Amino acid sequence: MILSSAKSSLALHARGLFLRVKANPVLRNNGIYITGSLLAGLFGYIFHFESGRLLGPSGYAVVASAIAALYLLTLPVVVLQSVSVRYTSLASARQDPASIRSLLVRISSLSLLVAAPMALLLLVFAHNVAQYLNIADVRVIYVLIPATLMTLLIAINRGALQGLRRFFALSANVLLDMVSRVVFVAMLVLLGFGAVGAVAAVLLGPAIAYVQSLQVLRRLTSYGPGLATTEGLGGYAVLAAVAGIGVNYLFSIDTLLAKHYLSSESAGIYAAAAVLARGVYFLGLSVAAVMFPEVAALHARDEAHFHVVDLSLLLVGCIGAALVVAYLAFPGLVLLPYGPSFTPVASYLGTFAVALAMLALANLLINYFLSIARASFIAPLLGACALETVLIVLFHSSIWQIVTMVVVSLGLLSLVMGVLYAGDRFAMKRVRQ
């Protein structure tokens, strides 16, 4: 009887918690998008595993280098998606869905106009690029050209879905992309297209997702001239570029410098620890993606929005703390994919997770300032980039020294960003009083 009563009480509490989460749009959207991101990430790993098994090491090396080149070619994606999110959020806040289509056409046309010379250069120098990357089949480079353009276009539409706060549709779109890649890589490689087929899957996945996103956006928007304005778009694009480049620099520069200063074995240990700890950061990105349009819309209507930021900070803090504890408590399980030769990584996992959790918190606050189009984050972000670089250049005799420099740099950045956010809150409170 007592056990039955306890089970009933637990079920009631669970149901009550579920209803509270469902009623809160920030918590609900975070649950949807984090789940979608985890599933998409899983299929991303399956794509790489599948490519490696089907092509072997030499064939997979071609795919990996092509994807790395695609990543560099599509760096503007961060800027385009941020611009799309903000301006779609503003149109949504004004209840002006008719302007979103024309807005997306303008941003897409501008991105293609800017990308066209880059695509032409890649076409002209395709043989040189293939030779530099040690790729024997130049068709791989030819496939990269439309893949680059398609990646830019799908980023804009995903930004619109994010700005409209349609996180189920956004998650489904990303998942469709990754599942399509997994299906196409198997089909094309087994049909005899080899590495070219695997790289083609990186084009076909986003292409299918792009068509699907157009259908979804057609249902969510309407025809008409609308009231949207792109005033200030250029200046905002600069802000988004600084944020994207700065955060990505902090995310990767330590691994590159570790490769330069440490022995090959130590650099491998460092890289493995950095990769494993990145789960904290990527989950934090999902929370920031949910917060951004919510804050942008509330700010545009001059409504209270700090509660959304506070809840997002709490979520990132909880995620970071949980993963730090997991890395400290179960390092062997975390390291299982790498094998016994990477056992030394275990001693660095917890510290790395702390560093990436601080970067996730700082990035969330940078996204807060981006969502309200404020440049307050620029000086601290650029200062952190310079500080981390200088500290590692000066102190790099061991893995621990470099990790310590990263923790110091990211800790200071998160502290300064927290102070700026607190100042924003205090100033707004005084104005409202």
Three-state SS for 372? Answer: coil
Check whether 4 has a pLDDT greater than 70: no
Is 19 among the domain residues?
A: no
Which tokens go with 130?
A: 């293939």
Same domain? For 397 and 417 the reply is yes
Among 195, 230, 265, the domain boundary falls at 230
Same domain? For 212 and 153 the reply is yes
Predicted local confidence at residue 378, as pLDDT? 94
Predicted local confidence at residue 18, as pLDDT? 54
Predicted local confidence at residue 337, as pLDDT? 63
Same domain? For 290 and 361 the reply is yes
Is 8 among the domain residues?
A: no
Predicted local confidence at residue 82, as pLDDT? 85
Check whether 6 has a pLDDT greater than 60: no
Same domain? For 255 and 187 the reply is no
Is 204 among the domain residues?
A: yes
Check whether 145 has a pLDDT greater than 70: yes
Q: At what angle do helices 25-73 and 139-163 cross, to 10 degrees?
A: 160
Distance between CA atoms of 229 and 233, rounded to whole angstroms? 9
**What H or E segment, with its residue span, contains residue 406?**
helix 399-432
pLDDT-above-90 percentage for the chain: 34
Is 97 among the domain residues?
A: yes
How does residue 153 score in pLDDT terms, banded at 50, 70 and 90?
very high
Check whether 368 has a pLDDT greater than 90: yes
The residue-averaged pLDDT of 10-31 equals: 66
Predicted local confidence at residue 155, as pLDDT? 92
Is 11 among the domain residues?
A: no
Same domain? For 267 and 196 the reply is no
Predicted local confidence at residue 20, as pLDDT? 60
The residue-averaged pLDDT of 11-23 equals: 56
Among 230, 250, 281, the domain boundary falls at 230
DSSP state of 206: H
The residue-averaged pLDDT of 220-246 equals: 73
How does residue 257 score in pLDDT terms, banded at 50, 70 and 90?
confident
Check whether 225 has a pLDDT greater than 60: no
Same domain? For 125 and 214 the reply is yes
Same domain? For 174 and 185 the reply is yes
Is 224 among the domain residues?
A: yes
**Over the stretch 393-425, which tens digit does the pLDDT of each residue have?**
999 889 899 999 999 999 999 999 999 999 988
Same domain? For 192 and 236 the reply is no
Predicted local confidence at residue 8, as pLDDT? 58
Same domain? For 176 and 193 the reply is yes
The residue-averaged pLDDT of 70-91 equals: 82
Handedness of CA 141, 143, 147, 150 (dihedral sign): positive
At a CB cut-off of 8 Å and minimum separation 6, what does 342 contact?
Answer: 268, 269, 272, 335
Is 14 among the domain residues?
A: no
- Buried b / exposed e over 35-71, threshold 16 CB at 10 Å, is ebbebbeebeeebbebbbebbeeebbbbbbbbbebbe
Distance between CA atoms of 143 and 129, rounded to whole angstroms? 13
- Buried b / exposed e over 194-220, threshold 16 CB at 10 Å, is bbbbbbbbbbbbbbbbbebbeebbeeb
Predicted local confidence at residue 301, as pLDDT? 83
The residue-averaged pLDDT of 9-28 equals: 62
Q: Which residue range(s) make up the domain with 193?
A: 25-230
Distance between CA atoms of 254 and 282, rounded to whole angstroms? 17
Among 174, 198, 230, the domain boundary falls at 230
Question: What is the DSSP secondary-structure string of 83-131?
Answer: HHHHHHHHHHHTT-THHHHHHHHHHHHHHHHHHHHHHHHHHHTHHHHHH
Cβ atoms within 10 Å of 230's Cβ, excluding its own? 15
Q: If we measure between CA atoms, which residue out of 355, 346, 344, 347 comes closest to residue 405? A: 355
Looking at the structure of the chain, the number of domains it has is 2
pTM for the model stands at 0.78
Same domain? For 366 and 415 the reply is yes
Is 388 among the domain residues?
A: yes
Same domain? For 395 and 248 the reply is yes
Lowest mean pLDDT among 26-35, 197-206, 339-348: 339-348
